Amino acid sequence: MKQKIYQVDAFADKLFSGNPAAVCPLEKWLSNETMQQIATENNLAETAFYVKKDTQYEIRWFTPAVEVDLCGHATLATAFVLFDIENHPGNEIRLYSHRSGLLTVTKNNQYFTLNFPADTLQSIELTSEITNGFNIKPHLAFKGKTDYLLIYDNENEIRSLKPDLNIISKLDARGIIVSSKGEKNDFVSRFFAPRVGVNEDPVTGSAHTTLTPYWSGILNKKELTAMQLSERTGFLICKNLDDRVEISGQCKLYLSGEIYI
């Protein structure tokens, strides 16, 4: 069986930046085992699979290790494939996840905009279990639906962080978001998720469902610019809609081809 596959750099204005994701358009769902094997073989942070159903698309996301509830950059990459390669009509795509509900993506020139549910945050104690995972101690900690959020004093601290991946992988969370106010952008971040097979994610759209409401409240702004300070880096434009978040970025096609199953 031959299966189409694309590899797309998401949240990227040029190749070899942003976050690479694989996208597999399906006529019908493959087995969970097969999709996980494909994602493991791809060895990218995320592989997205979608199936057209009536006027919308069902979507699922897999890391090299597990299926996840939500992935922003792979959803952005999926929208790019649908709009720019598979010729989806109009400027809006409706995607449905059995784990995260309805998601929409709109296109405006070169930018694709995700509309995701906003995360809810609970302030938590800065325990040694959390702070021992990094060489610099944060001054605030929060817990969202799937991730911890640690707040630092400045961008230099975010750049200088050295994670202990063994400690982080034992925390009861998908991953750890670290963030501070930015120097040229409203806020900056990094994201570590060794528990799900991603030591440091280049650009994490879903983490910005957590970051956007937080920094919107702190900075008293609805629209914000953000930079994820991974080695590849990625630029995002975020908008707080209270119970929803808009996250915008560009995409670049790196690879198209076929895999043999």
Q: Which residues are catalytic?
A: 46
Centre a 10 Å sphere on the Cβ of residue 260 and count the other Cβ atoms it contains: 6
- Name the β-bridge partners of 251: 10
Neighbouring CB atoms inside 10 A of 223's CB total 13
In this structure, are residues 207 and 144 in contact, taking their beta carbons and an 8 Å threshold?
A: no
What lies within 8 Å, CB to CB, of 59 at 6+ separation is 48, 49, 50, 75, 78, 95, 96, 97, 103
With CA atoms as reference, report the closest residue to 214 among 125, 131, 149. Answer: 149
